[in-house]
Amino acid sequence: MAHSAAREEVSAIAALTAQMAACDEDAFRQFHAQYFHRLLRYHLMLARGDAHAAHEALQETLLRVVRHARRFESEEVFWSWLTVLARSAAADGGRKRNRYWQLLAGYTRALIHRDELPQASDDDEPLPELLNQSMTELEPEARALVEGKYLRRASVRELALERGLTEKAVESRLLRARRELRGMILKKLRHENNT
């Protein structure tokens, strides 16, 4: 009886993954219904509870599933493959976030230098923390634009198409977001230098 149930599970996974490999929309809907929450929990564990990072990595994982779908004979092997895709997507997302913070930190250093504020040494420089705080204080739309430009490295044109705006409107909003970010960071630095 148990052997029969195991055989049915194998044939169900084989059928599902074969249909996914053939780009069957219903199969992808079924996959989503069965695995979305399980993959989300896995990504939350990988991201140590950072919901934003987990959701971004999950979206990338789902894209990779679509691009590389193939037939699997057992649920165990299929899940192992999914976790490899998930870990890879999470690692890539972490590298992108690090590049993003480095880009913004460099941008912030240039702004600070321009205003001739005293800079901390490399050992105790507060910029990454101030930058992180200031990013969370930006309006959601402004933050999304800055993240799109510097994290995803999207072009102004891509950002405009995503939002149904003109390129000029995106450039204007990005300029305002950068100025706002700059002002917040400079204010925090001045406060730190005065205490």
**Residue 103 falls inside a structural domain:** no
**Residue 61 falls inside a structural domain:** yes
Question: For the segment 155-178, what is each residue's pLDDT rounded down to a tens digit?
Answer: 889 999 989 999 999 999 998 988
Which pLDDT belongs to residue 100? 59
**Domain holding 41: CATH number?**
1.10.1740
Calpha distance 151→101 (Å, rounded): 8
**Residue 57 falls inside a structural domain:** yes
Q: Are 145 and 81 members of one domain?
A: no
Which pLDDT belongs to residue 129? 74
Q: Are 129 and 182 members of one domain?
A: yes
List average pLDDT for each run of 10 residues in the chain, which is 195 residues long: 53 92 94 94 87 86 91 93 90 66 62 48 58 83 84 84 92 90 80 65
Q: Are 83 and 22 members of one domain?
A: yes
Distances (CA, A) of 184 to 56, 63, 177, 192, 195: 26, 36, 11, 12, 17
Distances (CA, A) of 191 to 39, 133, 138, 184, 187: 43, 14, 19, 11, 6
Tokens of 127: 């910029």
Q: What is the pTM of this model?
A: 0.47
Which pLDDT belongs to residue 119? 46
**Residue 180 falls inside a structural domain:** yes
Distances (CA, A) of 86 to 35, 50, 82, 148, 177: 12, 15, 6, 22, 32
Q: Are 124 and 186 members of one domain?
A: yes
Q: Residue 155 region, left (φ>0) first, then alpha (ψ -120 to 50), else beta? A: beta
Q: Are 83 and 12 members of one domain?
A: yes
Which pLDDT belongs to residue 152? 73
Which pLDDT belongs to residue 65? 93
**Domain, as residue range, for 172:** 117-194
Exposure class string for 77-91: b at 16+ Cβ within 10 A, else e? ebbebbeebbeebbe
**Residue 28 falls inside a structural domain:** yes
- Structure letter (DSSP) for residue 108: H
Q: Are 135 and 76 members of one domain?
A: no
**Residue 185 falls inside a structural domain:** yes
Q: Are 6 and 88 members of one domain?
A: yes
**Residue 68 falls inside a structural domain:** yes
| CA dihedral of 68, 8, 35, 82, whole degrees rounded to 10 | -40
Which pLDDT belongs to residue 151? 72
Q: Are 63 and 123 members of one domain?
A: no
Which pLDDT belongs to residue 77? 93
**Residue 64 falls inside a structural domain:** yes
Quote the number of domains for the chain: 2
